[in-house]
Amino acid sequence: MNVPETVFSHEWLLFLSVCESKSLKETAERFNISTSSASRSLKRLEDSLGVTLFDRCSKPMVLTESGKRLYRQVLPAMKITQEAMEQVREENYLFSDLRIGFLESMSLLTAPQFLSFFKKKVGRITCLTGSSDRLLECLRTHDLDIIISSDPALRYTDWRRLMIIREPSV
């Protein structure tokens, strides 16, 4: 299970991860916390629900009947919630990921300005630098959404282009 941005609390994400991995240690590593911290978080969840979710006497820990029931019911709800959040974001163009490529020679000057402009408008930004040919190929294969390049890509007539700068000596 990935650790996505979610409306579910840290404790719920830990619970689901332990259920899937069947390993408290693996879950703790995935969340970049200690095993004891993960165990305390799960205990807080159990205390808040008033039930025991794990039989801690077994090695490895196993789910109790209440834990199994809760897992079976919460997992679909979480997936539906995540899908609904993604759909709303996509419909409103909120927090979509942006994959942007910069011509290597332009990246030091232009990348910081572009990234600061987009950082509050998108969820995650992935940057790639390379030659014009490489960036054009990544754009053509949909591995990038935008490229900043000196090549106007005139052979791709259905692409939208925006002239940012014009340098007569280039």
Please check whether residues 51 and 116 belong to one and the same domain: no
| pLDDT at 43 (0 to 100) | 92
The number of beta carbons lying within 10 Å of the beta carbon of residue 101 is 25
Arithmetic mean of pLDDT over the chain: 81
Half-sphere exposure of 31 (CA within 13 A, CB side): 27
How far is the CA of 140 from the CAs of 118, 130, 134, in angstroms? Answer: 22, 15, 10
| pLDDT at 40 (0 to 100) | 92
Last residue of a domain, one of 91, 119, 153: 91
Torsion of CA 22, 52, 40, 27, to 10 degrees: 10
Is the C-alpha dihedral spanning 91, 92, 96, 102 positive or negative? positive
Q: What is the mean pLDDT of residues 91-98?
A: 68
Q: Are 149 and 101 in contact (CB under 8 A)?
A: yes
Torsion of CA 18, 24, 28, 29, to 10 degrees: -100
CATH number for the domain spanning 42: value is 1.10.10.10
Half-sphere exposure of 84 (CA within 13 A, CB side): 8
Tell me the three state secondary structure of residue 103: strand
How far is the CA of 143 from the CAs of 47, 106, 149, in angstroms? Answer: 46, 20, 15
Q: Of 1-15, 50-64, 80-94, which range is least confident?
A: 1-15
Last residue of a domain, one of 91, 122, 157: 91
Domain that holds residue 158: 95-170
pTM over 0.75: no
Please check whether residues 81 and 136 belong to one and the same domain: no
| pLDDT at 157 (0 to 100) | 64
| pLDDT at 2 (0 to 100) | 44
**How many structural domains comprise the chain?**
2
Task: Judge whether 4 lies within some domain.
Answer: no
Per-residue pLDDT tens digits for 24-77: 899 888 888 888 989 999 999 999 999 999 988 877 788 999 999 999 999 898
β-strand pairing of 54-55 with 62-63: antiparallel
Task: Judge whether 167 lies within some domain.
Answer: yes
Please check whether residues 15 and 61 belong to one and the same domain: yes
Last residue of a domain, one of 91, 125, 158: 91
Q: Are 56 and 24 in contact (CB under 8 A)?
A: no
pLDDT classification of 156: cutoffs 50, 70, 90: low
CATH number for the domain spanning 100: value is 3.40.190.10
What is the radius of gyration, based on Cα positions, of the chain?
Answer: 23
Please check whether residues 72 and 109 belong to one and the same domain: no
Task: Judge whether 1 lies within some domain.
Answer: no
